[in-house]
A = this chain, B = another copy of it.
Amino acid sequence: MRRIRLILEYDGGAYAGWQRQTNAVSVQQKLEEALRRLTGEETLTVTGASRTDAGVHALGQNAHFDTSSRIPADKFSFALNTLLPEDIRVRQSSEVGERFHARFSASGKEYRYLFYSAPHSSALYRNLCAHVIYPLDTALMRAEAQSMLGRHDFAPFAASGSVVKDTVREIDFVSLYENPPFIEMRVHGNGFLYNMVRILAGTLSGVGSGKLAPGAIKRALKSGSRLELGVTAPPQGLTLMRVDYPEDALI
């Protein structure tokens, strides 16, 4: 058996998210179907780094699977791309050591959130960004975002349905880039709670539009209350850009 790592890009618009579900089509299911067809291994399963939600995109999702197939590791990408729908692409495939685990070996992740700030929504980019109809004060948003930096108990940023126990995470980078009418947020950390980036995005747009008083993130981290924060921003603005692994996790 060999362990193969995949780097994946997908348009989340047509999927109920990464994770296999009973009544809806997931990215994981499409990938497993393609891999089972390719290898003939009917019980082959794929493990993803991040369980991206319905409608969320990825440019750098990671996943692994084990196989007895003799297909050269770097050829899985080409073979899979002939079997996958065009809204899922394997960007790269490589052999990794048997200790590598797409989810548990990850040391960091980077997400992008794209706002489209204009009176009218975008026809061309509508599936890549979240439309914000009111003007945004990006200086206020940038200042607010800095409160995310460091090691915090991010429990107020966890969606209510979340079952994870340890809600402490460390954020080491957050920034806003303006390219009107787009405003791009990038955030990097050692891990993220379910919906955390979308709640951050909703909080920043709340502060930027004047609906939320600046300091919301500080207040929430202090009080532990989700109510201090903004709405959960819509999924189509969110893209998983990259998953980091320590070099020794790959061998």
Task: Quickly give the copy total for this chain.
Answer: 2
Task: Please state if B123 and A86 are interface contacts (CB–CB under 8 Å).
Answer: yes
A residues 25-43 near B (Cβ < 8 Å) are none
Collect the chain B residues with CB atoms within 8 Å of residue A86's CB. 121, 123, 126
A123 and B77 CA atoms in complex are apart in Å by 13
Shortest beta-carbon distance, A148 to chain B, in Å?
25
Q: Which of B9, B120, B124 interacts with A124 by CB under 8 Å?
A: B9
A65 and B126 CA atoms in complex are apart in Å by 26
Asked if A91 is an interface residue, CB under 8 A from chain B, the answer is yes
Number of A residues near B (Cβ < 8 Å) is 25
Using an 8 Å CB-CB cutoff, how does the interface string of A48-68 with B read, 1 for contact, 0 for none? Answer: 000000000111000000000
A residues 141-181 near B (Cβ < 8 Å) are none
A residues 112-133 near B (Cβ < 8 Å) are 118-124, 126, 128
A59 and B125 CA atoms in complex are apart in Å by 10
Task: Please state if B87 and A120 are interface contacts (CB–CB under 8 Å).
Answer: no
A45 and B79 CA atoms in complex are apart in Å by 50
Task: Please state if A91 and B77 are interface contacts (CB–CB under 8 Å).
Answer: no
Asked if A81 is an interface residue, CB under 8 A from chain B, the answer is yes
Collect the chain B residues with CB atoms within 8 Å of residue A239's CB. 124
Collect the chain B residues with CB atoms within 8 Å of residue A88's CB. 123
A99 and B51 CA atoms in complex are apart in Å by 57
Q: Which of B11, B87, B124 interacts with A59 by CB under 8 Å?
A: B124
With CB as the reference atom, state the residue of chain B lying closest to A121. B89
Asked if A100 is an interface residue, CB under 8 A from chain B, the answer is no
Collect the chain B residues with CB atoms within 8 Å of residue A111's CB. none
Task: Please state if A87 and B9 are interface contacts (CB–CB under 8 Å).
Answer: no
Asked if A136 is an interface residue, CB under 8 A from chain B, the answer is no
A61 and B141 CA atoms in complex are apart in Å by 33
Asked if A102 is an interface residue, CB under 8 A from chain B, the answer is no
A248 and B133 CA atoms in complex are apart in Å by 32
Collect the chain B residues with CB atoms within 8 Å of residue A58's CB. 124
Asked if A90 is an interface residue, CB under 8 A from chain B, the answer is yes
Asked if A10 is an interface residue, CB under 8 A from chain B, the answer is yes
Shortest beta-carbon distance, A120 to chain B, in Å?
5
A11 and B121 CA atoms in complex are apart in Å by 12
A57 and B189 CA atoms in complex are apart in Å by 37
Task: Please state if B123 and A11 are interface contacts (CB–CB under 8 Å).
Answer: yes
Interface centre among A86, A120, A128, A239 (most CB of B within 10 A): A120
